[in-house]
A and B are shown apart, each in its own frame.
Chain A
């Protein structure tokens, strides 16, 4: 026992070892393996061999560049939508929530205790051509009979934005909640009007929340394929749909792995550029 007191970091390493080993074996190594598999050649029938076929990268990029740019566009659009929807929501809860704060936060999170798939399928019911949303509008003659939301990019982006809204709202709330009231009072005493207080005090202090929220939304949004599959059509397929089909339908592992690697690399580069742009160091949350 006293040995542990003399070697405090030894205890730390013993506590860390099992979990860290697990992540090294089942998270970090598989990422490297994914890269290796992208350099395989062969087929499920003949077996695969590592041939170092780097040519697969330009090939995959050329063939699926459309899906990649579409994913980035849908992900970016959905992130902007979640920000526009989530900011006023977070603002109200943080500054005006009063004693209903926790109730409101709970109401924001509660829908997400329902299966992701079931929520998305519910939107399919709501957006259906003669469903809850469009049916009455068409009956009233406000929309032409041929108008549809399902199987359009709008439905896909809306579905993604809906599914990731809490990821944006909660970090924004945390950042806004932390703003000390006396800073806003000071701004008022220095004759800042409402807009200036918002623009010069609230918004800059909310920036870490904007940063965290947009990353937490954008990253899963770019890789998502459920919304495109359920709410979109073949023309709104994202890179995730291609990867899924490569692996699970046609067993073209090398191309699937190469596309996943490209997706991951693109996201890491994007995040680093964004971090530099926004200039926040809270990326890893490693403030302890």
Chain B
């Protein structure tokens, strides 16, 4: 694992000044650069966290004034904020559950079954991820607008826009990401374990719940986590499909025109810490369950 490609080659003795220069790049400049790049990536997050402790007393949260815990003691103390956060959580939870179920079913079919039309299917799954979000939002909005002219739909199915249309949109953009995550995790799935279970007399249902499901569970959780974080952060698709309903990102956007209340940084920090915590936790659990096959083969190579 440690001695990968270029490092191994570079470790050989070599003398020319050019090669010494190259070693300096490898030894100092590249690590320093990586450190700076990671710091650059983290900077806005650190700013967000720091400014959640800012005492703005009614002024905009753009300049540092003094340390205060006020916002942390009253994180929902802004009119409309509690509702927005609740809506966001509800949309994220529901869209994650539904998209994960739909996506896992597709993923299972893709990895474990032969069927015709695979190419077209791959394209249909790829396209929503390759479409700019604004086009996804606009096209759904045009569907919802046009649906008012369709007499076969009960009135108010899609229009006026509401919580329901946000949910429809979030499920849509989440499905593809779930499929891609599951497919990556199912590659090299040990089919022989299922066959062994069947040979030992288990039926399809028992085999699925006792063998297949526990094996795909880490992948399912990873996919669900991705779907949840995409949903809770979405602004662009939501703004086109929300109508009067407000999610947390819509609230932020509305607030930034008047001046951002500190509470937004507090909620942002809480979401960030929770997401990072979940990822770390799931990694720890996954590592404990079984050694990562990629890591294991890496060890064998080295």
Query: A125 CA to B16 CA in the complex, in Å?
Result: 48
Q: How many residues of B contact A (CB 8 A)?
A: 103
Majority DSSP secondary structure for residues of B touching A: helix
Query: A220 CA to B187 CA in the complex, in Å?
Result: 28
Contact, CB under 8 Å: B146 / A113: no
A145 at the interface (CB under 8 A from B): no
Contact, CB under 8 Å: B108 / A96: no
**A202-B6, A284-B126 known; A106 and B44 CB under 8 Å?**
no
* Contact pick for B106, options A20, A197, A215, CB 8 Å: A20
From B40, B48, B249, B271, residue with most partner A Cβ within 10 Å: B48
Q: How far is the CB of A171 from chain B (nearest CB, A)?
A: 12
Query: A9 CA to B240 CA in the complex, in Å?
Result: 38
CB closest residue in chain A, given B105? A15
Majority DSSP secondary structure for residues of A touching B: helix
Taken residue by residue from 158 to 197, chain A's Cβ proximity to chain B (1 for < 8 Å, 0 otherwise) reads as 0000100100000000000001110111001000011101
Q: How far is the CB of B70 from chain A (nearest CB, A)?
A: 19
Measured between beta carbons, the chain A residues less than 8 angstroms from B10 are 194
Query: A120 CA to B235 CA in the complex, in Å?
Result: 13
* Contact pick for B122, options A88, A92, A219, A286, CB 8 Å: A286
* Contact pick for A28, options B34, B41, B124, CB 8 Å: B124
From A37, A115, A223, A260, residue with most partner B Cβ within 10 Å: A115
Q: Beyond the given A119-B44, A162-B40, please list 4 additional residue pairs across the A-B interface where CB-CB is below 8 A.
A: A34-B139, A194-B18, A219-B131, A263-B132
- B residues neighboring A (CB under 8 Å): 1-10, 12, 18-19, 22, 26, 30-31, 33-34, 37-38, 40-45, 47-48, 51, 62-63, 102-103, 105-106, 108-111, 113-116, 118-119, 121-128, 130-136, 138-143, 145-146, 168-169, 171-172, 175-176, 179-180, 183, 187, 203-204, 229, 233, 235-236, 239-240, 248-249, 252-253, 256, 260, 264-265, 268, 271-272, 275-276, 279, 283, 301
Query: A11 CA to B111 CA in the complex, in Å?
Result: 13
A141 at the interface (CB under 8 A from B): no
Q: How far is the CB of A204 from chain B (nearest CB, A)?
A: 14
Q: How far is the CB of A99 from chain B (nearest CB, A)?
A: 7
Taken residue by residue from 107 to 127, chain A's Cβ proximity to chain B (1 for < 8 Å, 0 otherwise) reads as 110110111111111111110
Contact, CB under 8 Å: A253 / B145: yes
Measured between beta carbons, the chain A residues less than 8 angstroms from B275 are 113
Query: A22 CA to B140 CA in the complex, in Å?
Result: 13
**A33-B139, A85-B37, A104-B38 known; A288 and B183 CB under 8 Å?**
yes
Contact, CB under 8 Å: A286 / B119: yes
Query: A69 CA to B138 CA in the complex, in Å?
Result: 20
Q: Which 10 A-B pairs have the closest CB atoms?
A: A223-B132, A122-B44, A286-B122, A12-B113, A30-B139, A19-B102, A113-B275, A15-B109, A181-B5, A12-B115
**A33-B142, A264-B131 known; A193 and B124 CB under 8 Å?**
no
Query: A163 CA to B249 CA in the complex, in Å?
Result: 16
Contact, CB under 8 Å: B62 / A128: yes
Contact, CB under 8 Å: B26 / A96: yes
Contact, CB under 8 Å: B130 / A219: yes
Measured between beta carbons, the chain B residues less than 8 angstroms from A162 are 40-41, 44
From B138, B141, B229, residue with most partner A Cβ within 10 Å: B138
Taken residue by residue from 260 to 274, chain A's Cβ proximity to chain B (1 for < 8 Å, 0 otherwise) reads as 100110010001000
Q: Which of A195-220 contact B (CB under 8 A)?
A: 195, 197, 202, 215, 219-220
**A23-B124, A117-B235, A119-B45 known; A89 and B33 CB under 8 Å?**
yes
Q: How far is the CB of A81 from chain B (nearest CB, A)?
A: 12
Contact, CB under 8 Å: B139 / A260: yes
Measured between beta carbons, the chain B residues less than 8 angstroms from A80 are none
Contact, CB under 8 Å: B203 / A1: yes
A98 at the interface (CB under 8 A from B): yes
Measured between beta carbons, the chain B residues less than 8 angstroms from A226 are 235-236
CB closest residue in chain B, given A101? B1
Measured between beta carbons, the chain B residues less than 8 angstroms from A68 are none
**Can you identify 17 A-B contacts, CB atoms within 8 angstroms?**
A18-B105, A19-B102, A22-B175, A28-B127, A30-B140, A33-B142, A89-B33, A92-B30, A107-B38, A108-B38, A117-B256, A118-B264, A121-B48, A162-B44, A179-B5, A223-B133, A244-B134
Measured between beta carbons, the chain B residues less than 8 angstroms from A288 are 110-111, 183, 187
Measured between beta carbons, the chain B residues less than 8 angstroms from A267 are 130-132
CB closest residue in chain A, given B123? A284
Contact, CB under 8 Å: B240 / A264: no
Q: How far is the CB of B208 from chain A (nearest CB, A)?
A: 11
* Contact pick for B105, options A16, A88, A125, A248, CB 8 Å: A16
From B42, B203, B236, residue with most partner A Cβ within 10 Å: B236
CB closest residue in chain B, given A132? B47
Q: How far is the CB of B181 from chain A (nearest CB, A)?
A: 12
Measured between beta carbons, the chain B residues less than 8 angstroms from A222 are 132
